[in-house]
Amino acid sequence: MSSQFTVRTADQLPTLLQAFRKEAGLTQREVALRLGVAQQTYSALERNADTVGAARLLKLLNILGVELALGKPGANPALAKGSGQTPPGSDQPSW
């Protein structure tokens, strides 16, 4: 199942992280073990996700089987030729 969620504020993260963890069938203890922290530390991290650094958040998302995709609001995912942006699968910009 491929679902996308728009996150505009850090306040949205705790609910999403908990939902992704439960969808993955993992307990807080299991995630904490994989993340290398105590269960209590992970519980606080999940409740206060706005304080988590980018590296730890990316590691956590990887553990939960979630990928992070960034984009501008209203941007067309299919890039037009000559847009000045790098087309998917290309390592060179189209300009």
Range of the domain at 48: 10-63
Q: Tell me, what's the pLDDT at 9? A: 86
Q: What is the pTM of this model?
A: 0.70
Q: Where is pLDDT greater, at 16 or 7? A: 16
In a domain, 72, yes or no: no
In a domain, 33, yes or no: yes
* Number of structural domains found in the chain: 1
In a domain, 69, yes or no: no
- 40: domain CATH number is 1.10.260.40
pLDDT for 19 beyond 70? yes
In a domain, 16, yes or no: yes
In a domain, 58, yes or no: yes
Mean pLDDT, rounded, of the chain? 82
- State mean pLDDT over 76-87: 51
| CB contact set of 7 (below 8 Å; sequence gap of 6+) | 13, 16
- How many other CB atoms are found less than 10 A from the CB of residue 19? 13
CA–CA separation, 7 and 68 (whole Å):
10
pLDDT for 49 beyond 60? yes
Confidence of residue 78 (pLDDT cuts 50, 70, 90): low
Confidence of residue 72 (pLDDT cuts 50, 70, 90): confident
